[in-house]
Structure 1
Amino acid sequence: MAEVTRFIETYVPQHYDIYLDINRGTKSFAGKTTITGEALVSPILIHQHDLNIQTVKVNGEVAEFVVDTDKDSIAITVPAVGDLTLDFEYDAKLTDNMTGIYPSYYKVDGVSKQLVSTQFETNFARQAFPSVDEPEAKATFDVAIKFDEQAGETILANMPEKEVVDGVHYFDTTVRMSTYLVAFGFGDLQGKYTETTSGVKIGVFATKAHATDELDFAVDIAKRSIEFFEEYYQTPYPLPHSWQLALPDFSAGAMENWGLVTYREAALLVDPANTSLPMKHRVATVIAHELAHQWFGDLVTMKWWDDLWLNESFANMMEYVAIDALQPDWHIWESYQTGEVLGALNRDATDGVQSVHVEVKHPAEIDTLFDPAIVYAKGSRVLVMVRTLIGEDALRTGLKTYFAKHQYGNTTGDDLWTELSAASGQDVNAVMSTWLDQPGYPVVEAKVVAGKLMISQQQFFIGEHTDANRQWQIPLNSNYAVAPVLLKEQELELGDYAKLRADAGQPFRLNLENGSHFIVKYDDTLLADILEHADELDAIAQLQILQDLRFLAEGQQVSYASVVPLAAKFAESKSIVVNEAIFMILSNLKKFVEPNSAEKAALQKFIGQLSAEQLARLGWAPKPTDTNDDTLVRPYILSSALYAEDQAAIDEAHALFVAHEDNLFDLPADARVHVLRNEVKHFGSVALFEKLVVAYQEATDPSYQGNLSSAITSVTDDQLVKRVVELFEDATVVKPQDLRGWFAGLLGNPAGQQAAWDWIRTDWQWLVDKVGGDMSFTSYITIIARTFRSQARLAEFKAFFEPKLAEPGLTREVTMDTQVIASTVALIESQGAEVNAAIAGANK
């Protein structure tokens, strides 16, 4: 296996002059790049990928060079080490896989248009210009761009435009930055602007396929986020502007290019009249995440990709810190509990999962580092632990010093811990190393043994595993003072339980506020005490009980059947976090039943009973009296009622569809997807299918498009299933960026699962060619693992994917997801009968 070679060890760039002449008609560009820097050896290595290098000069003289396509390199013989200037002339094609320089496709009033933009993270800048394309190789950049410009078009870049000469747009010199943060975009754009209190210009841009008021929400959030971070970090935003650009085609959610952040349209644009509250939450947190990066990631950057978490984990935490400050009425940390925390706990329980900090041994492994549940979610949860452990003041003091010391440079995690330790007086590194350098997380068991209250830790697993006897320094956050701040031991005795219980006057609990990355297993005595006083607990504590017990059931440490009654116990809660925990339990119970079986009928009845009271209370349409929680709970209740095939709910959804048949977008945003799916399931026809496909093609609102694709992929007719599969590869209908959602929808549909599974096996190479450069590409495999639950499907999965284990970018995902399916199969075989008996027994 090829090892990663650091090109910066051969040549250290200081400044780039980049000229690009881009032609959308021919999908090609010509380039000239001049790099000044220092050669450390000869030959030097410069990155390129798919560039047709015509000439290379060293200090003005034509030089010998060798291009190695396997290593993405240009090896250049230089006369001597020391300062020298490199000149390159080259040409290349625009890509069509959303990396490098690429076109986005869209229509305005039926007219096809293109917007050209960039995506250089992780290592795609080399597709646009020769460079030392590594995070540590920071330099300044002068960018000049010419393109087949038409009247009224706009071009944006990291820095302000300084002049236009003979059709060439020249931009101000950037600050010192990494190549992967260079960005530009141009096309027929509209924009809205504002300015922060410190004078930073804020702009939000989109194509003219969208109404202008769809930009307003992002303008407001971006402005207030920049202002918040300047105050929080106690460090000024270092650029004159912050542009936010919505792209019709974009592989990720967003990208933190310095001064020109790029987004999926769904992650930036908001229809003010009809957008669900969860979608507003998502857009706001994505914007805050990317703007948090402008300091943490852009101003100070990880030295190498093994410290990617240093960028992403921190930004993931800060998006919630920021939005909680900007919109306290949203209670955004509750969304964190049911989103990031849940994702991290689920992924991190599979043996073989990567650690937050992971060594990169092969270039193909770089993109696999972007595991959202680990690098983003788990990493942020570990940082939340640190924030709680050292306190807000120490965190901010440490960050201010960190930015001042390392601005425009590169760091490792140890550099951050050094500053936080100095600010707090605590050995932060000693705690963090146990969480970042080893995978997984502990289950802390609390039990009463011979009258003594005992706690112990061991790694928690779901599925087959090899226990490596890992230990953590665990912030316990207990409500009993006798429990230590950090559990460092394998096992610890806390004292006489009866006396401790009497003195405390409340049940013993660990991980208050669910702030540390572990779950708790209480013995029967302690759990019964907690459940007896459950009504006295806050919503997060109730969520934690349900969540931890569900994970313990998934890991077969407790019976899943014992969790079933708890769903009913908390079913009347009005809290969104409790309802989401209940919904997750109910969703997981679905894997124990087969379609059209008596067991499924019993589960439908159980879910219908649990949702009936809430459905009567909330109804289908928003009410002026709705609380924040009511608004967020309603979609879960509607989903449950329709799964239960409640006839009144089916009829109400159909009536709503009929009332809005001429303009389905106007259906209430919170209920729209459920109305559409209900219509397809119970009133479906070829005509309805075609109507929804046309609506999908004509829609400009991305959340509405998501609702339509969810409905379209829920078809049950064999011929319509076949039509859906045909649409997978029709980019005029399904953009490659949206294909993952379509595939997941059809695979999760029992009537379409076989067709979706056949398609991905048959057309795997097409998929690799189309979106294989996407850092989220392996999530296609994850989707399959989350869906399959039989021995037969496990065998088919292994037969197809095990031959791909040797591919470095797929090895970990295939290995883990094989275990995920195997653990699901084992759980169903072991506990299925008992679970279904519990469900039947719970029905009234």
Structure 2
Amino acid sequence: MGKGFYISKTVGVVGIVLGAGALVTIIALSVVYSQEKSKNNENEVKPTDAVTSAPTTAPSNEPWDQWRLPQTLSPQTYNVTLWPRLEPDPTGLYIFTGMSSVVFRCVEKTNLILIHSNKLNMTKQPTLMALGSKPAPIIESIVMHTKTQYMAIHLKDELTAGESYELYTEFVGELADDLGGFYRSEYNENGVKKVVATTQMQATDARKAFPCFDEPAMKAVFHITLYHDPATVALSNVDSTLVTRTTFAATEVMSTYLLAFIVSDFGFIEQNIDKLQIRIFARQEAINAGQGEYALIVTGPILKFFERYYNVSYPLPKSDQIALPDFNAGAMENWGLITYRETALLYDKEISSNGNKERIVTVIAHELAHQWFGNLVTLRWWNDLWLNEGFASYVEYLGAAEAEPDWNVKDLIVLNDVHRVFAIDALASSHPLSSKEEEIQKPEQISEVFDTISYSKGASVLRMLSDFLTEAVFTQGLQTYLNYFEFNNTVYTDLWHHLQLAVDRNNNSLPKTVQEIMDRWVLQMGFPVVTIDTTTGQITQEHFLLDPETKPDRPSEFNYEWFVPISWTKNETTQPLYWLLNKNGELTVTITITVIFTVEEMDHPKMIILSLHIHVIPNPYDFVSYWVLANINVTGYYRVNYDNDNWQRLLNSIPVINRAQLIDDAFNLAKAGIIETTLALRTTLFLNSETEYMPWEAALDNLDYFYLMFDRTEVYGHMQKYVGRQVKDLFDYFTRLTNWQDVPQGHTDQYNQINALRVACSTGNEDCKTLITNWFKQWMDNPNVNPIKANLRSTVYCSAIAAGGEEEWNFAWEQFQNATIASEKDKLRAAMACATEPWLLNRYLKYTLDPEKIRKQDATSTIINIASNVVGQPLAWDFVRANWEYIFKQYGGGSFSFSNLINGVTKRFSTQFELQQLIQFKDDNAHIGFGSGSLAIQQSIERTNANIKWIEKNQKAVLDWFKNPS
């Protein structure tokens, strides 16, 4: 394969001569383009007269009014030719033209072809050709159904079952900047504006690029051809021939949402590992600066790890990864051409932080995990998305640990995923991991399942499953699952079946089958709190709800009981795994008895070893001891409560293991009213002598809730004094260890250094404030030399801007505009939301609606950052309410970020007035809709109600405790 895409004039001429067909096609597309420009009087591309649009009518039972394709046709191959224009036409419109043919087999006779097509205008009457002995039926009419995004082709006669046909279309679409389908991304390099044509098909946007059967089960082989300027690079899922007409080799059988094609003038770096080509693409400036090198270094080891883990070779001949200036998601696992935000792929060792580095390696591991689990074997429908994303969210830690073995990164799943999703799954408006197919139909419903439940709860329950099966059994079942279903589609129970086969092969014993156990975790929302009473030995479970007075939004056939694996330790001695099978405390434990005997076979005695697994009922008094600690390393997806005596024993001598778990469980049990809030606060008393990251992070995460609830009340001052005293020793510890000039050696020690600086400064530590003020002033005095260490920049920028005024904010804005490294831009963008002058924050909010100032991909997160600021929260809320219709239409009803936006601007709500505003916002905008944020609205209302009740019950006790902590 060639190493570049730049060709000489001579080679170009030879290529065109040899590809006469390509030349004819280019001319034809040019004519189409000219025709479209002449028609385009109002910046929209109009359809031909042969294609009509369906009138707006009430929904019917007709196939085109349903959200799912009928199972009458099955696609086999596509031939798609696209020509994106990277320059606007005279009206300022960017377009692409295309031709597509799809070969499909008729499964059941029908006189209707339904194929997805969204925002594409046909420039020529579609044609239908039979590939068998019988002629194709005549096309009677073609109707576009914009609501369900179908092109309905009505035929005079029926297609014949078992026969294959080819549908040919020519079309034109807008190469918009909406971050979905085939879209454009713009950036400036050396003062020159440049345009990239790129894609994001997941979940339902391949239909914006060409007419297709756009469902994950409708797999096919794709032949992609791109026309592009000779000075640009054309990329797709597989390899290509290199001329201005770039034709790619046929793909494997795959789903439409995994397609990708890109035209740019990016540079790349590459290496070959065992004949596998690995390339990192990015803006030429970023490649020249070496920002792709870290990604290139870690990709090979991670790929090789997953080959061993899955016991399946990487299924493609190359692995391309590309960093895009505009990208709505963090990354996308397109098969063989993975797309990323720049912050998720590019790393600069002088400027990027340790957190940036961890994000890059975990996101790469996540997307590479999908190349098998998701791409090779694909979910049948989006209701099982959790299996796809939850699995990748779990094994990303395993892949990252392979690339960075000294980081102990696998431990961080507890903070990043388990604790994080507990907060959402404790709401009565949560939802199960797997929904019924009929509940997930519309594009916005599909987008809505790309949430914390699917990713983090999915990861948490699969980690629990791997733990109680053992990793060896789990991977064995996973390997046979992938081998059996390669290039096919599945439902989640297919994985349970193969895991059960592995259990049976290894003679393991479980109290129930894999499916019986896991259905309780997958088909009902929420999780249990397990209560252990060490005075009686009793152990019970209850559905954990943040507000116990609420009732789940949906019934459960399992009555909110789980089969719970209880890992536990008694007086620092690890005990056998117990299973809690119901609410009433029915326990079981597996006892393995090994029987050895011999038999005589001819003259040769033969020894036979037989293992018997027996389930017995444990003695309840096993739990009566000096102290008991359950759910070791938080491998189980549940919280744990104890009798008061055991809590006191644990608090008086908290073991190093599970400190973070104890803190998180205690605070959340207190939020639910199960234990006293002052008991939870007591778990923070030992922090004045704590130097480990995970306990500090768990404590700070939970104290953040107290700040949200009380930073507008008299509690705030007393809380600040207490937290300031607790963090002083940690701040002094890092002062002695690093003098704030050195980087700690340990991965998590670097995070704890950041925590020490952030919390000390935010609670008024004078030494900390002096450090930050001096650093930022030095930078302002000499903008070309930034004296602030990369790890500390986010904290320093935020603190300095909060303490400063317009001068500091304007300086940060100038640096933001001039920054060429995405991670540095992100730090500055977040820090500017820390300003304390309302007019600065209001100005910044207005910037989020101007893509020239704040990229569309960053608009919602910038508003959320402003809302996280106590000064900015009411401003952000007013801004969202005033501009909801514009935000919703401009950023797309299917945007993954709407739920984050709604949760982000309402998380501080804790008064009746705010609750009424939220309900009014829901009612006022019902006609507009909330897209993927619909569930977030209900969750915000529920959370606000819970906050109001919690404050009424706890404010006085919390105030008294912070005045006199003990």
Shorter-normalised TM-score: what interval? over 0.9
In 2, Cα distance between equivalents of 1:143 and 1:570: 59
Give yes or no for the alignment of 1:474 onto 2:541.
no
Match of 1:19 in 2: 81
In 1, Cα distance between equivalents of 2:521 and 2:750: 36
Q: How does 1:74-223 map to 2 (within 5 A)?
A: 74-78=151-155, 79=157, 80-81=159-160, 82-147=163-228, 149-151=229-231, 153-164=232-243, 167-197=244-274, 199-210=275-286, 211-223=288-300
SS at match of 1:21: strand
Give yes or no for the alignment of 1:600 onto 2:670.
no
CA displacement at 1:399 relative to structure 2: 1.7
In 1, Cα distance between equivalents of 2:872 and 2:962: 27
What does the per-residue CA deviation read over 1:693-712, in whole Å, with 9 as the maximum and x for residues that have no partner?
A: 12111212222222212221
Is the 8 Å Cα contact of residues 802 and 814 (structure 1) preserved in structure 2?
no
Is the 8 Å Cα contact of residues 308 and 369 (structure 1) preserved in structure 2?
no
| Structure 1 vs Structure 2 CA RMSD | 2.1
Give yes or no for the alignment of 1:458 onto 2:542.
yes
What does the per-residue CA deviation read over 1:156-199, in whole Å, with 9 as the maximum and x for residues that have no partner?
A: 110111243xx3110000000000111011212011101223x2
Give yes or no for the alignment of 1:35 onto 2:130.
no
Among residues 767, 774, 788, which one is paired with 1:655 in the alignment?
A: 774
What does the per-residue CA deviation read over 1:790-837, in whole Å, with 9 as the maximum and x for residues that have no partner?
A: 222221111102455684644322111110111112211210111111
In 2, Cα distance between equivalents of 1:635 and 1:370: 33
What does the per-residue CA deviation read over 1:279-331, in whole Å, with 9 as the maximum and x for residues that have no partner?
A: 21111000000000000000000001111112111111110111123322111
Among residues 46, 59, 66, which one is paired with 2:129 in the alignment?
A: 59
What does the per-residue CA deviation read over 1:443-495, in whole Å, with 9 as the maximum and x for residues that have no partner?
A: 011114xx521011110001242166410111111236887632112122777
Is the 8 Å Cα contact of residues 189 and 205 (structure 1) preserved in structure 2?
yes
What does the per-residue CA deviation read over 1:84-141, in whole Å, with 9 as the maximum and x for residues that have no partner?
A: 1111111111122100111111111222111110000001000000000000000000
In 1, Cα distance between equivalents of 2:751 and 2:66: 46
Letter in 2 for 1:390: L
SS at match of 1:59: strand
In 2, Cα distance between equivalents of 1:371 and 1:784: 19
In 2, Cα distance between equivalents of 1:581 and 1:622: 26
CA displacement at 1:50 relative to structure 2: 0.8
Match of 2:492 in 1: 413
In 2, Cα distance between equivalents of 1:493 and 1:91: 64
In 2, Cα distance between equivalents of 1:665 and 1:763: 37
In 1, Cα distance between equivalents of 2:240 and 2:744: 49
Is the 8 Å Cα contact of residues 453 and 493 (structure 1) preserved in structure 2?
no
Give yes or no for the alignment of 1:270 onto 2:347.
yes
Q: Would the alpha carbon gap of residues 654 and 732 (structure 1) be closer, same or farther in structure 2, given more than 3 Å must change?
A: same
Is the 8 Å Cα contact of residues 673 and 708 (structure 1) preserved in structure 2?
yes
Letter in 1 for 2:789: P
In 2, Cα distance between equivalents of 1:555 and 1:349: 9
CA displacement at 1:560 relative to structure 2: 1.8
Is the 8 Å Cα contact of residues 687 and 727 (structure 2) preserved in structure 1?
no
Among residues 936, 939, 945, which one is paired with 1:813 in the alignment?
A: 936
In 2, Cα distance between equivalents of 1:376 and 1:488: 26
Q: Would the alpha carbon gap of residues 284 and 798 (structure 1) be closer, same or farther in structure 2, given more than 3 Å must change?
A: same
Match of 1:582 in 2: 699
Match of 2:632 in 1: 512
Match of 2:857 in 1: 737
CA displacement at 1:626 relative to structure 2: 3.8
Of structures 1 and 2, the one scoring higher in RCO (CA 8 A, sep 6+) is 1
In 2, Cα distance between equivalents of 1:142 and 1:452: 68
In 2, Cα distance between equivalents of 1:513 and 1:745: 32
In 1, Cα distance between equivalents of 2:743 and 2:98: 58
Q: How does 1:168-567 map to 2 (within 5 A)?
A: 168-197=245-274, 199-210=275-286, 211-359=288-436, 360-425=439-504, 427-448=513-534, 451-463=535-547, 464-466=549-551, 469-479=559-569, 485-492=578-585, 501=624, 507-534=627-654, 537-539=655-657, 541-567=658-684
In 2, Cα distance between equivalents of 1:664 and 1:462: 49
What does the per-residue CA deviation read over 1:713-742, in whole Å, with 9 as the maximum and x for residues that have no partner?
A: 122223322321221112111101111221
Is the 8 Å Cα contact of residues 254 and 267 (structure 1) preserved in structure 2?
yes
In 1, Cα distance between equivalents of 2:206 and 2:249: 19
Among residues 752, 764, 775, which one is paired with 2:896 in the alignment?
A: 775
In 1, Cα distance between equivalents of 2:457 and 2:329: 19
Is the 8 Å Cα contact of residues 4 and 363 (structure 1) preserved in structure 2?
no
Letter in 2 for 1:453: G
Is the 8 Å Cα contact of residues 688 and 728 (structure 2) preserved in structure 1?
no
In 2, Cα distance between equivalents of 1:179 and 1:215: 28
Q: How does 1:718-757 map to 2 (within 5 A)?
A: 718-757=838-877
In 1, Cα distance between equivalents of 2:771 and 2:328: 37
Match of 1:617 in 2: 733
CA displacement at 1:350 relative to structure 2: 0.4
The worse-fitting range, judged by mean Cα deviation, of 135-144 and 757-766 is: 757-766
Is the 8 Å Cα contact of residues 203 and 447 (structure 2) preserved in structure 1?
no
Is the 8 Å Cα contact of residues 202 and 258 (structure 2) preserved in structure 1?
yes
CA displacement at 1:631 relative to structure 2: 0.9
Is the 8 Å Cα contact of residues 804 and 811 (structure 1) preserved in structure 2?
no
Q: Would the alpha carbon gap of residues 508 and 719 (structure 1) be closer, same or farther in structure 2, given more than 3 Å must change?
A: closer
What does the per-residue CA deviation read over 1:213-259, in whole Å, with 9 as the maximum and x for residues that have no partner?
A: 11011011111111111111110111110100101000010000000
CA displacement at 1:209 relative to structure 2: 3.6
Match of 2:830 in 1: 710
In 1, Cα distance between equivalents of 2:732 and 2:401: 31
Q: Would the alpha carbon gap of residues 499 and 118 (structure 1) be closer, same or farther in structure 2, given more than 3 Å must change?
A: closer
The worse-fitting range, judged by mean Cα deviation, of 249-258 and 40-49 is: 40-49
Q: Which has the larger radius of gyration?
A: 2
Give yes or no for the alignment of 1:800 onto 2:921.
yes
Match of 2:31 in 1: none
Gaps of 5+ in 1: none
Is the 8 Å Cα contact of residues 446 and 456 (structure 1) preserved in structure 2?
yes
Gaps of 5+ in 2: 1-58, 89-93, 131-135, 505-509, 588-617
Is the 8 Å Cα contact of residues 201 and 241 (structure 1) preserved in structure 2?
yes
What does the per-residue CA deviation read over 1:550-599, in whole Å, with 9 as the maximum and x for residues that have no partner?
A: 1111212122222222212234222111110121232222134244x643
In 2, Cα distance between equivalents of 1:809 and 1:712: 28
Give yes or no for the alignment of 1:790 onto 2:911.
yes
Percent identity for Structure 1 against Structure 2: 27
In 1, Cα distance between equivalents of 2:397 and 2:700: 23
SS at match of 2:551: coil
Q: Would the alpha carbon gap of residues 711 and 582 (structure 1) be closer, same or farther in structure 2, given more than 3 Å must change?
A: same
In 2, Cα distance between equivalents of 1:624 and 1:817: 40
Letter in 2 for 1:354: H
The alignment of Structure 1 onto Structure 2 pairs a total of residues equal to 828
Q: Would the alpha carbon gap of residues 124 and 500 (structure 1) be closer, same or farther in structure 2, given more than 3 Å must change?
A: closer
Q: Would the alpha carbon gap of residues 47 and 625 (structure 1) be closer, same or farther in structure 2, given more than 3 Å must change?
A: closer
In 1, Cα distance between equivalents of 2:565 and 2:414: 17
Is the 8 Å Cα contact of residues 80 and 225 (structure 2) preserved in structure 1?
yes
CA displacement at 1:665 relative to structure 2: 5.0
What does the per-residue CA deviation read over 1:657-688, in whole Å, with 9 as the maximum and x for residues that have no partner?
A: 1233324755212211222222222232x232
In 1, Cα distance between equivalents of 2:786 and 2:70: 52
The worse-fitting range, judged by mean Cα deviation, of 245-254 and 557-566 is: 557-566
TM-score by length of 1: 0.94
CA displacement at 1:361 relative to structure 2: 4.1
Match of 2:68 in 1: 6
